């Protein structure tokens, strides 16, 4: 499955992913110690919702536009992150994970971004101008392992590929296993699109075999059954989520359900430990 983020910027998957990513980093920042934030597949950093690619799908109407009009205070941080890249009240730009992570940085934290695609890496450097982020242009999986353990005691690795390669899930599984051996207590966030249940269940079984003690799975299926050939939802695997994050997750997921499915008929968001 080829999931180019420029076509899907601001959709429901982005709302869930970025809301949870903000909550995760905020929970880690309850302690004063420095964090290293690493984004292995950073993309362009900033997306034009009025551009041809985003307009072709129009998915932002079912995602960020709904979240911006929902007044639940649990989504305040997410809305603020989106509004921060739009100078006017009109929504024109959507921040990718690099922009959102940069907004969360404290003076003691650092942000490392990686994007292998030359054109996207060029766009990323432009989008991150004025921030303290370091931008690399390397193989994502090689960089993931090379930077572990980070120089700071704590950190987060965000893995968010477009799933263009047929072996993407295998590379993630293999690299995650090696990463956990190098950095057993590290927090890792792996985003994935959901195409069909059989493929996803097979991958979950492969991840279960790694024996990671704390591996949280958050899934947002848009339909009750697979719709062939289309995007059926998205999810996150989160390794070693902090306690404060997991405690605050149920009400946040309730808020996201209400915002993204005001009629109650637009999919389901669930969370559970992979070992259960």
| Distance from chain centroid for Cα 49 | 18
Instruction: Return the H-helix or E-strand segment holding 259.
Output: helix 243-260
Q: Angle formed by the axes of helices 97-104 and 118-127, to 10°?
A: 30
Determine the number of helices (DSSP H) and then strands (DSSP E) in the chain: 11, 10
CB atoms within 10 A of CB 248: 16
Instruction: Give yes or no: 48 in active site.
Output: no
- C-alpha span between 114 and 101 (Å, rounded): 13
* Contact by Cβ (8 Å): 215, 239: yes
48, 160, 224, 226: which is the annotated catalytic residue? 160
Instruction: Return the H-helix or E-strand segment holding 218.
Output: strand 215-221
Indicate the burial class of 238 (C-beta count within 10 angstroms; 0-12, 13-18, 19 or more): buried
So which residues are the catalytic ones?
A: 160
């Amino acid at each position: 499955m080829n999931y180019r983020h420029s076509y899907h910027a601001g959709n429901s998957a982005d709302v869930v992913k970025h809301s949870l990513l903000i909550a995760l980093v905020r929970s880690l920042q309850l302690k004063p110690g420095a964090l290293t934030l690493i984004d292995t597949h950073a993309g362009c950093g900033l997306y034009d919702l009025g551009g041809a690619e985003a307009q072709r799908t129009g998915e932002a109407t079912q995602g960020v536009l709904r979240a911006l009009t929902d007044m639940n205070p649990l989504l305040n941080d997410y809305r603020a992150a989106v509004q921060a890249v739009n100078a006017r009240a009109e929504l024109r730009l959507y921040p990718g994970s690099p922009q959102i992570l940069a907004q969360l940085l404290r003076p003691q934290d650092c942000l490392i971004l990686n994007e292998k695609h030359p054109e996207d890496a060029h766009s990323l450097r432009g989008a991150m101008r004025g921030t303290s982020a370091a931008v690399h242009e390397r193989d994502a999986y090689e960089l993931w392992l090379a930077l572990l353990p980070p120089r700071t005691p704590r950190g987060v690795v965000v893995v968010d590929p477009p799933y263009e390669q047929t072996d993407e899930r295998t590379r993630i599984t293999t690299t995650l296993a090696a990463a956990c051996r190098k950095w057993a207590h590290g927090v890792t966030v792996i985003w994935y699109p959901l195409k069909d249940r059989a493929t996803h269940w097979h991958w979950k079984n492969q991840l279960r075999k790694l024996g990671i003690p704390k591996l949280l799975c958050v899934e947002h299926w848009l339909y009750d059954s697979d719709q062939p050939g289309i995007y059926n939802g998205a999810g996150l695997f989160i390794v070693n989520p902090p306690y404060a994050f997991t405690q605050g997750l149920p009400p946040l997921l309730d808020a996201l359900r209400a915002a993204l499915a005001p009629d109650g008929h637009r999919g389901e968001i669930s969370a559970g430990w992979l070992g259960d």
